[in-house]
Amino acid sequence: KAGVTQTPRYLIKTRGQQVTLSCSPISGHRSVSWYQQTPGQGLQFLFEYFSETQRNKGNFPGRFSGRQFSNSRSEMNVSTLELGDSALYLCASSLGQGGGYTFGSGTRLTVV
């Protein structure tokens, strides 16, 4: 059974640009959530999708957005990148009702 797949693994962008990250959950998992991990702030919740609907949103500016497709794959978009957006972005999938969140390997975004 394939795990959670995130692409790309690494990304370097310039301030002001935008970026789209992708997450393919474990087959059968309908919930996908996104987290930002930085040395200073730890793991911060961005948002979560369940059956194509955003159910929860963290305290991030509107530059951070996401969506989920009918096959449960999810994308996260960050517009007008800032240096402080440099982080490891992790997604996690679960069945949505039983816990057991499984993380992907993450996308390491560097903004220069």
Residues within the interface to other proteins (CB under 8 A): 31, 33, 35, 42-43, 45, 48-50, 55-56, 58, 90, 92, 96-106
- Smallest separation (angstroms) from other proteins to the CB of 30: 9
- Given CA atoms 36, 109, 14, 47 in this order, what sign does their dihedral have? negative
- Nearer of residues 42 and 62 to other proteins, judged by Cβ: 42
Instruction: Output 1 or 14, the one with its CB closest to other proteins.
Output: 1
Phi, psi of 28 (to 5 degrees): 95, -15
Which amino acid is residue 89, in one-letter code? Answer: Y
CB of 43 to other proteins, least distance (A): 4
Q: Which of 53, 74, 68, 86 is nearest to 7 (CA)?
A: 74
Nearer to other proteins, 37 or 79 (CB): 37
Identify which of residues 47 and 81 has a Cβ nearer to other proteins in the complex: 47
Q: Nearest distance from residue 13's CB to other proteins, in Å?
A: 21
Sign of CA dihedral 25, 7, 14, 69: negative
The tokens describing 24, both together, are 């393919």
